[in-house]
Amino acid sequence: MSDVLLSVEDLQTHFHTEYGTVKAVNGVSFEVKRGEIMGLVGESGSGKSVTNLSILRLVPTPPGEYAGGRIMFDGQDLLTLPEHTLRSYRGNRIAMIFQDPMTSLTPYMRVSRQITEVLELHQKMTRTQAKKRAIELLEMVGIPDPAGRVDSWPHEFSGGMRQRVMIAMALACRPELLLADEPTTALDVTIQAQILELIRELAREHGTAVIMVTHDLGVVAGIADHVSVMYGGRIVERAPVEPLFANPQHPYTKGLLASVPRLDSRGELTPIPGSPPDLSDLPPGCAFAPRCEAVMDKCAKQPGWYGEPTLGKRCWLGEA
């Protein structure tokens, strides 16, 4: 169960715009093992969502471009795979949960049809079998009276229910890799807890690997095994969840944790000063340097990776 399922190596996803090239993902590397849940955290615009979309090659090209790197999934490079092979993976071996449940379901298709569409595509089920399975799936994600609700229209569902439909669709084919882009942001806390529990169960029982993109550190602490912190299109720190929260190494991670309220200290919240970098005009050195408290002369040069691949940081601090 501990073999590497997904290995992203030096991924570079750029967007060519009229204001210049935006390096949304600028050399990201990480590995995810089967059954492992990796949290991918960072501010808005740090490149975490684009990283996720790149794995399924869903970044529109143009204006996007996969400028470099490899995405090895079960021994194959997803970036060079023919489109039709990749299409047979989407929704089947690799599934995705989108951020906004209000707009991610096709308004002119019944909920049942949207779920059975995935099943008919990848599992070669008949309409009747697929419908039965759709009801099971809705029950699994906690929709009350699934048999009665399965033929509803998306607009008849609340945001939370739609998100659960999205999740049901993502889980329909028991994917090996689940990419979740802020799956619980739109839900209230009780539902959020249920959904997170569901995802964790999936990882444990089916060995599904999960990449959970979020800016909610609470969610990460609750569910992830490993955490990667992204800043300015790069991963700046990577660690198992306990050491990351107990002893963050990168000044950005420290700042991030200090800006979140904690139950065990009554201190003031300290926001990180400044704003995220302009990805079309990144400094040659460390992207965080302009906002960093511990900035040094060396920070004008791009720091390397210090530590293990799964436990380390991209920072000059404390290194020779």
List interacting residues with other proteins (CB under 8 A).
56, 58, 87-92, 95-96, 98, 100, 103-110, 112, 117-118, 121-122, 128, 131-132, 135, 145, 147-148, 150-151, 153, 155, 166, 169
Question: Residue 37's closest CA among 266, 258, 196?
Answer: 196
In whole angstroms, how close is the CB of 14 to other proteins at the nearest point? 19
Nearer to other proteins, 149 or 291 (CB): 149
- Smallest separation, CB 107 to other proteins (Å): 6
In the complex, least distance from residue 150 CB atom to other proteins, rounded to whole angstroms: 7
Judged by beta carbon, residue 39 or residue 91, the one nearer other proteins is 91
Residue 204 near residue 196 (C-beta atoms within 8 A) = no
Pairwise CA distance, residues 163 & 203, whole Å: 19
Helix (H, G, I), strand (E, B), or coil: what is residue 76?
A: strand
Q: Give the long-range contacts of residues 305-311, CB within 8 A, separation 24 or more.
A: 307/249, 309/29, 309/30, 309/31, 309/238, 310/31, 310/226, 310/238, 310/239, 310/240, 311/238, 311/239, 311/240, 311/243
Distance, in Å, from the CA atom of 92 to the CA atom of 118, rounded to the nearest integer, reads 8
Residue whose CB is less far from other proteins, 83 or 264: 83
Task: Decide whether 105 or 244 has the Cβ nearer to other proteins.
Answer: 105
Nearer of residues 96 and 195 to other proteins, judged by Cβ: 96
Give the helix/strand (H/E) hosting 7: strand 4-17
As measured in angstroms, the least distance from the Cβ of 79 to other proteins is 16
Is 5 in contact with 182 (CB distance < 8 Å)? no
Q: How far is the CB of 134 from other proteins (least distance, A)?
A: 10
**Structure tokens that stand for 200 in this block:** 């964790």
Q: How far is the CB of 110 from other proteins (least distance, A)?
A: 7
Contact criterion met (CB below 8 Å) for 13 and 57: no
d(CA 275, CA 222): 27
CB of 4 to other proteins, least distance (A): 23
CB-wise, 162 or 254, nearer to other proteins? Answer: 162
Query: Residue 123 or 302: which CB sits closer to other proteins?
Result: 123
